[in-house]
């Protein structure tokens, strides 16, 4: 299903600064970028780059003098997903069988201190045998216990805070989900993207857990359908996949984000405890 | 120069468990592994693997029943290094010119919360223009202010703790160095290895900062010569490069580590503030 | 009921140091100290003092040169307690009616960051109307979720750690109980004492919550009967009521503590959810 | 010297709530309240109370229904102070000679984790022999290293954060000063008050250290003259001396604070390193 996605970020630059943006829709075997355009107004030279560490598409630019500028991205993207409903396809993968590329997602990261959550995770979720049900129960627990509250957290808030303070935004919900999965030896990674029917419209963050040999999507906020996500980036946590990293003295003065579909047949898909169907963007 | 390195780890396994070891000397363009042997006693099947995220060499094994075992690694390794002494070769690399593969080492990680140390780093080290001198000053500051004290920290201790508590071991010294570099927009990564003339003998941890387009080695502990290091792994921090990650109920009962050279001409190399010569294992 | 209590602490003093001990049984309207003796061997001059902030009995001594010494306290104490079983007598006291002396126990302290636990406390325990039942549910929750594990924590561990890390000793159990009560606007204070039938024998810590106009005792460890406690001190938390505060370079080399009763009729009293009977040492 | 002080706080109350205010000028042997008036508009019954733990003057009121109200306090106050300039009068008091009432101010509290700052404090300030000079050096260090930045911190920020994050407001400056003093075994307490010539006008917070047998005032912000302070409260830290503690769902919509003197002879007094003169409000 095709989605039109777009964002526009506006910055006030006070001193020469460098920006790294991560707003392009990812190109993967299952996500096709049909059209896209990136505009910077007024024009500033920029370059796209990737890293050996990931397939995320970064844009970098240097702003050499104080000014105001806008960066806008528009694309038509066709992300394919699979619904997986066989029990065996949602089994945990023992650490000994994990692919080497997946193993780094077992370890703690800046905002996901899984090493400090082990007792909590085992006491609360350790007895659930089906891995998909286990992660689903984690997201239900987060959804029920953490209040979605704009402005309640900041860029330094981590899973160790959120698990007790119980308020946050999508980023915090994702970090907590990731940390709890890793504490149970389930690989988990951060996911940022455009999100259809997210209200209020914004960039979205959720997470993927590695179950049955695939990355399955989970969203503890339940703010948007799982089948309306257009992936921008994966990472260990928000440190790897910030929409914008800035080096210098700048202020973001406006953010506009949106996602639409022309397809009248979109049927929102959310998980239900009774059916145990997982959704994977692989 | 050739070094013989060896380690022997002994474990008591109480329940079926999985181990991931990272004790092999790394193979790089400048570090040649001439001979090596890995032994597990009693024999347990193991496999070597790497990850797309790094060149670190991991060994994984599943221990299916309670038992005691030893894993021993021996190798003859020839690590080459370069001494860089031209001022221009030790200049900072602006973010806008950094290679994509290096950029992830700018961001905060589990034990290196560079996002919380920016004011500190800028107020203390921000005015030093030469990047090599800047990082050298950071290591001197750590060396002078942090007491090397075995047992004073644990696996959860991070740079944000150490910068105030001022005690730790090599791992903590490295984490603090990394965090301060990143806070100044200098990429920095964790380095683990065997270390010649380290006393008491143990695995060693220090860090590399990206200066003048190369990774330059730094060691705030000053416990061993910089030219006697045999690299095992790089990573964002200790979460990426643990000597052993264990999944299950196990206890490490003994660790023996060593490094020797047969070469009588080894001349220890340490940094001096007066000369500004950097050492790179690239 | 009369108890014989005793303790003996041994210290190695490396440099001139000052000690403040808080090991005397408290004298209150309901706790009578029938006999007591304090011995320091070898003899060092000491003085007893109290503070306007509390009735705790402190002993202070200066050790002017390196040496080893023992301090031993023995007493026969008769603590009286009341069992309160009327519903009305266990009602919450609205903040507006609290006595001025009780109000400081509403506020956060070093190890009891009640300000960070408000959402948690309200979401989990906020709907219970009976104040005694509320605090009892808190202690049951702690007892069920936190593992009593010697050596798992240190003197810097606080309620904010314990609520997630879920392991600790009596001090940690008490701090978490206090923090959760205060988060619900129930005054709560730290209690240290000798404890009959505590195993292994040691000083004990638990807490009192202010309900129905009295301080009611609670012990989330459930390690000892509630009616076998001999109070040493109250405080906001362990910072106020440390058994020993030392200023200088010293090491505690031995601690022995005990409590016995000659009374054959001692019947251990523990709370039961079904009966809602509170025990107060006032 | 007489000062006119006044404040006006406005609240929106959404649900029945209880307020505890601490805005009255303290009455002490050296601070005389010549006139004062407290008004609540619309009128709500309130009561004044104190606590055995301090001489702070609290006002408590219950607002039984949603409404908006103002509380205004005006007073004419004559605080006397002493300038102490003999070296001997500014000597440290050994712990063994401290008055029992002063000892609680040696211990860590919610926002002043002196237990975690000992190495830092000793390494930086431990060698200064004169106690007054020591605390003055601490305040100079804070003043030089911590940026006064409105909005950079919140009510949960503590000295352990500020010592690394290096930004804050008067409350944070005071907490860090207190924590560093206590880490050096110098009793220190929080001080809130009205402040003449403070700009922008607001309640002020600073701290007192116990030197030479008196409480000497220190203010690391240097935002106002030390001889223009009218004391409202002392406490271990802000947890003890909040201007307003609220229990319920309320929002503070306006704060106005001021202090004036009719005396044309006011000469601002600030410390100078060269003279070592301390100012005490005792």
Residue A192 pLDDT exceeds 90:
yes
Contacts 24+ apart (CB under 8 A), D202-207: D202/D170, D202/D255, D202/D257, D203/D7, D203/D232, D203/D243, D203/D255, D203/D257, D204/D170, D204/D229, D205/D170, D205/D171, D205/D173, D205/D174, D205/D238, D206/D170, D206/D173, D206/D174, D206/D177, D207/D174, D207/D177, D207/D178, D207/D181
Residue B54 pLDDT exceeds 90:
no
Residues 178-207 of C with CB under 8 A from D: 185
- C116 reaches D (C-beta below 8 A): yes
| pLDDT tens digits for range B168-196 | 999 999 999 999 999 999 999 999 999 99
Give the C-alpha separation, C229 to C282, whole Å.
13
What pLDDT band is residue A133 in, cutting at 50, 70 and 90? very high
What pLDDT band is residue C122 in, cutting at 50, 70 and 90? very high
Mean pLDDT of B2-26: 97
Residues 253-272 of D with CB under 8 A from B: none
Q: DSSP code of C111? A: T
Instruction: Provide the mean pLDDT of chain A.
Output: 95
Closest alpha carbon within chain A to C124? A145
Give the C-alpha separation, C73 to B147, whole Å.
38
Residues of chain A contacting residue B61, judged by C-beta atoms under 8 Å apart: 96
Looking at per-residue confidence, does B8 or A52 come out higher?
B8
Predicted-complex ipTM score = 0.94
Cβ–Cβ < 8 Å for D4, D40? no
Mean pLDDT of B253-276: 92
Cβ–Cβ < 8 Å for A125, A138? yes
- Kindly determine whether residue C123 and residue A166, on different chains, have CB atoms separated by under 8 Å: yes
- B120 reaches D (C-beta below 8 A): yes
The domain C82-240+266-280 is classified under which CATH number: 3.40.50.720, 1.10.3720.10, 3.40.50.970, 3.10.620.30?
3.10.620.30
**What is the distance in angstroms between the Cα of A48 and the nearest Cα belonging to chain B?**
10
Instruction: Please give the CATH architecture assigned to the domain spanning C3-79+247-260.
Output: Sandwich (2.60)
- Kindly determine whether residue A164 and residue C120, on different chains, have CB atoms separated by under 8 Å: yes
- C118 reaches D (C-beta below 8 A): no
- Kindly determine whether residue C103 and residue D62, on different chains, have CB atoms separated by under 8 Å: no
Give the C-alpha separation, A241 to A248, whole Å.
19
- Kindly determine whether residue D113 and residue C116, on different chains, have CB atoms separated by under 8 Å: no
- b/e map D97-133, b = 16+ CB within 10 Å: ebebebbbbbbbbbbbbbbbbbbbbeebbeeeeebbb
Cβ–Cβ < 8 Å for B243, B191? no
3-state secondary structure of C163: helix
- C164 reaches A (C-beta below 8 A): yes
Cβ–Cβ < 8 Å for B269, B224? no
Residue B52 pLDDT exceeds 90:
no
- Kindly determine whether residue C119 and residue A163, on different chains, have CB atoms separated by under 8 Å: no
Counting Cβ atoms within 10 Å, is residue D140 exposed (0-12), middle (13-18) or buried (19+)?
middle
Give the C-alpha separation, B204 to B224, whole Å.
9
Q: Is C212 left (phi over 0), alpha (psi -120 to 50) or beta?
A: left
pLDDT the model gives residue D276: 85
- b/e map B193-218, b = 16+ CB within 10 Å: bbbbebeebbbbbbbbbbbbebbbbb
Mean pLDDT of A78-102: 89
pLDDT the model gives residue B163: 97
| CB proximity list for A146: less than 8 A, separation 6 or greater | A162, A166, A167, A168, A172, A173, A176, A220
Give the C-alpha separation, D259 to D224, whole Å.
11
Residues of chain A contacting residue B189, judged by C-beta atoms under 8 Å apart: none
User: Considering chain A, what percentage of its residues have pLDDT values greater than 90?
Assistant: 90
Please, where in chain B does CATH 3.10.620.30 lie? 82-240+269-280
pLDDT the model gives residue C189: 98
| CB proximity list for D153: less than 8 A, separation 6 or greater | D161, D162, D165, D167, D168, D169, D171, D172
Per the listing, tokens 């808030």 go with: A157
| pLDDT tens digits for range B112-170 | 999 999 999 999 999 998 999 999 999 999 999 999 999 999 999 999 999 999 999 99
- B81 reaches D (C-beta below 8 A): no
Please, where in chain D does CATH 3.10.620.30 lie? 82-242+269-280
- B251 reaches A (C-beta below 8 A): no
Instruction: Provide the mean pLDDT of chain B.
Output: 95
Residues of chain C contacting residue A123, judged by C-beta atoms under 8 Å apart: 145, 166
User: Considering chain B, what percentage of its residues have pLDDT values greater than 90?
Assistant: 90
Nearest by CB to residue A113, choosing from B96, B107, B110, is B110
Give the C-alpha separation, D90 to C267, whole Å.
57
pLDDT the model gives residue C53: 77
Paired with D208 in beta bridges are D189, D217
Cβ–Cβ < 8 Å for B18, A94? yes
Q: Which CATH class is domain B82-240+269-280?
A: alpha beta
Cβ–Cβ < 8 Å for A133, A260? no
What pLDDT band is residue A260 in, cutting at 50, 70 and 90? very high
Lowest mean pLDDT segment, chosen from B226-230, B237-241, C117-121, C272-276: C272-276
Cβ–Cβ < 8 Å for B188, B105? yes
- Kindly determine whether residue A109 and residue B104, on different chains, have CB atoms separated by under 8 Å: no
Element (H, E) at B32: strand B31-41
| pLDDT tens digits for range C246-265 | 999 999 999 999 999 988 89
CA distances from D250 to D7, D60, D69 (A): 19, 15, 11
CA distances from D170 to D162, D176, D205, D241 (A): 12, 10, 6, 14
Nearest by CB to residue D96, choosing from C18, C113, C242, is C18
Q: For the domain made up of A82-241+269-280, give the CATH fold.
A: C8orf32 fold (3.10.620)
Give the C-alpha separation, C209 to C214, whole Å.
8
Residues of chain C contacting residue D105, judged by C-beta atoms under 8 Å apart: none
Task: Output phi, psi for D212, to 5 deg.
Answer: 60, 25
3-state secondary structure of B7: strand
Please, where in chain A does CATH 2.60.40.2250 lie? 3-79+247-260
Give the C-alpha separation, C102 to C100, whole Å.
5
Nearest by CB to residue D107, choosing from C94, C100, C240, is C240
- Kindly determine whether residue B120 and residue D166, on different chains, have CB atoms separated by under 8 Å: yes
- B122 reaches D (C-beta below 8 A): no
pLDDT the model gives residue A262: 80
Cα dihedral D230, D234, D238, D240, rounded to 10, equals -130
| pLDDT tens digits for range B72-99 | 999 999 999 999 987 777 888 999 999 9
Give the C-alpha separation, D227 to D81, whole Å.
7
How do A167-168 and A147-148 pair as beta strands?
parallel
Q: DSSP code of C181? A: H
Mutate to test the interface with C, among A112, A142, A166, A167 (most CBs of C within 10 A): A166
Residues of chain D contacting residue C49, judged by C-beta atoms under 8 Å apart: 100
CATH number 3.10.620.30 is the correct assignment for the domain at D82-242+269-280:
yes
- C239 reaches D (C-beta below 8 A): yes
Counting Cβ atoms within 10 Å, is residue B46 exposed (0-12), middle (13-18) or buried (19+)?
middle
Q: How many residues comprise chain D?
A: 282
- D49 reaches C (C-beta below 8 A): yes
Encode chain D (282 residues) as per-residue pLDDT tens digits. 899 999 999 999 999 999 999 999 999 999 999 999 999 999 999 999 988 778 899 999 999 999 999 999 999 999 999 999 877 778 889 999 999 999 999 999 999 999 999 999 999 999 998 899 999 999 999 999 999 999 999 999 999 999 999 999 999 999 999 999 999 999 999 999 999 999 999 999 999 999 999 999 999 999 999 999 999 999 999 999 999 999 999 999 999 999 999 888 999 999 988 888 999 999
Pick the closest to residue D208 from D270, D273, D281, D265 (CA basis): D281
Q: How many CB pairs lie under 8 A apart between chains A and B?
A: 90
Residues of chain A contacting residue C163, judged by C-beta atoms under 8 Å apart: 164
Give the C-alpha separation, C21 to C232, whole Å.
11
- C166 reaches A (C-beta below 8 A): yes
Residues of chain A contacting residue B239, judged by C-beta atoms under 8 Å apart: 107-109
DSSP H helices, chain A, are 118-125, 131-145, 159-165, 170-183
Cβ–Cβ < 8 Å for A110, A237? yes
Q: How many residues comprise chain B?
A: 282
The encoded tokens of residue A161 equal 């805070």
- A117 reaches C (C-beta below 8 A): yes
């Amino acid at each position: 299903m095709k989605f039109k996605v777009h964002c526009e970020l506006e910055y006030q630059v006070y001193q020469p600064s460098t920006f790294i943006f991560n707003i392009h829709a990812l190109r993967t075997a299952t996500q096709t970028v049909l059209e896209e355009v990136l505009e910077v107004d007024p024009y500033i030279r920029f370059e796209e780059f990737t890293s050996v560490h990931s397939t995320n598409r970064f844009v970098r630019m240097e702003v050499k003098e104080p000014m105001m500028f806008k960066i806008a991205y528009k694309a038509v993207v066709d992300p394919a997903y699979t619904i997986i409903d066989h029990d065996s396809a949602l089994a945990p993968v023992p650490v000994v069988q994990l692919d080497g590329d997946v193993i780094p997602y077992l370890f703690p990261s800046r905002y996901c201190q899984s090493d400090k959550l082990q007792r909590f995770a085992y006491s609360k979720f350790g007895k659930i045998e089906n891995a998909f049900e286990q992660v689903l129960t984690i997201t239900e627990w987060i959804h029920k216990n953490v209040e979605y509250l704009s402005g309640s957290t900041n860029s330094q808030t981590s899973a160790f805070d959120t698990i007790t303070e119980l308020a946050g935004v999508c980023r915090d919900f994702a970090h907590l989900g990731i940390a709890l999965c890793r504490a149970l030896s389930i690989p988990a990674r951060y996911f940022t993207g455009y999100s259809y029917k997210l209200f209020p419209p914004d960039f979205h963050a959720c997470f993927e857990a590695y179950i049955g040999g695939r990355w399955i999507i989970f969203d503890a906020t339940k703010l948007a359908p799982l089948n309306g996500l257009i992936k921008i980036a994966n990472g260990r946590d928000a440190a790897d996949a910030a929409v914008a990293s800035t080096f210098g003295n700048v202020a973001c003065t406006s953010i506009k984000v949106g996602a639409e579909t022309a397809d009248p047949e979109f049927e929102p898909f959310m998980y239900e405890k009774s059916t145990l169907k997982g959704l994977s963007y692989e």
